[in-house]
Structure 1
């Protein structure tokens, strides 16, 4: 092996290790911190690994979410209000994320198909404007959206959060799917049109079935972006019936006390579903992104 190749491999592995430390390191620290006692988190110097390992934060959240207060007290454990509503908030986050993923893929597919296949005046301007809309900071739109939701009586409602998240996720979905649809050979559509199929039938019977990897990738992207949304969930929700997991995790910090260990443990639990979702559909994510990046 030549010297230049050795140096290249060394630099590649060093860059990979640095990349891994930057992106995976904070998550590993979060897991370690969630297993520490409160006094260990605030001590100086800080301890990366828990010694001893403590499950008190997880027990507080899980016991409070699954059992009533009388049972928790008999087990000599504490249970806060935030822990008791954490399971409901978890389900609310799942409902919002799954709904956004489903409807974004459905609407995004039918919006992306004509952009990918039809030639019409202003096509590129339309595609560019879709992306420009998403580039507007969410914070700049927060006040008018919240005021409009309250005037329409749609505050403290999961449906409102679904619509808001879809408005931010749908441009990404359209861009991803229109790139994927372009990789499907046009000869298949020509053959279907010779058999008498119209555009709608072609999309339903040919394009969408052949685009399962791309649709899955778009759905996972929409799910991940919606699951961790915090700003609008904090501004729209007012009662425990609509709180999301990110909002409840922040509620562990009160005016009287800040339970750092419990906040971190709640964050770890909130990360598990999207990570598991991404790992389970990893094959579709990779194939969808790579197929959409290859031009025939």
Structure 2
């Protein structure tokens, strides 16, 4: 009887949590590959989780999905199994490092572009089940502005653009912001500068992008923070353990904590309520049809 009572209390608490939780949808992208976007996404999610938030990571990097690889966790199921109705949304959610929940991409996202109306409705229904399930759902997209990446950027509440101080990376990061803006869409962008030698280089890189965006696009793009070029990161990748867990006292781990705290600080003080999963789905379905 005691176990049943505890189980019932857990179910009631879960229902209450979902009824009051506002799920915020975030897209993480980059102008070019090789800037550490997926590594950032993973450790950013873990840092949010460490602050007490429930986080779900969607690996939406078509063809190069690697969130599971970075954690050393083999992905049994992915979005493809959902689209083919072989599994439900709950059955494709897997647990990785520190219990972080994630959905592997596989080839499923490519199939989103070829869904029938019936399949679209099923997909929408299943993703809609996540409303209130997590505080943050983070989509790790592919690099560059592919059609799929654009859809996630436009449907999400905000997009974090990861770049490095390299001139080509800066140019490509600005290009993706310019392209989205030139299409007439209002998107909330934020910057993260990865692999900086020091805070000064990070600020200078961010200022270059922010200044040009303000001057030519009339956009204000805040910077969440910088991540130092830290040997601990590559060591963690080889170990297939997130660097914030493998080397919690490293400079990069401290940087990622500062970034997540800055993000949460803005989230808490924002007077704009989260639009949630339903709004995300409505936008996504309009883009897909």
- Whether TM-score is above 0.5 comes out as no
TM-score (norm 2): 0.24
Q: Normalized per residue, which structure has more helix?
A: 1
* Rg (Cα) greater in structure: 1
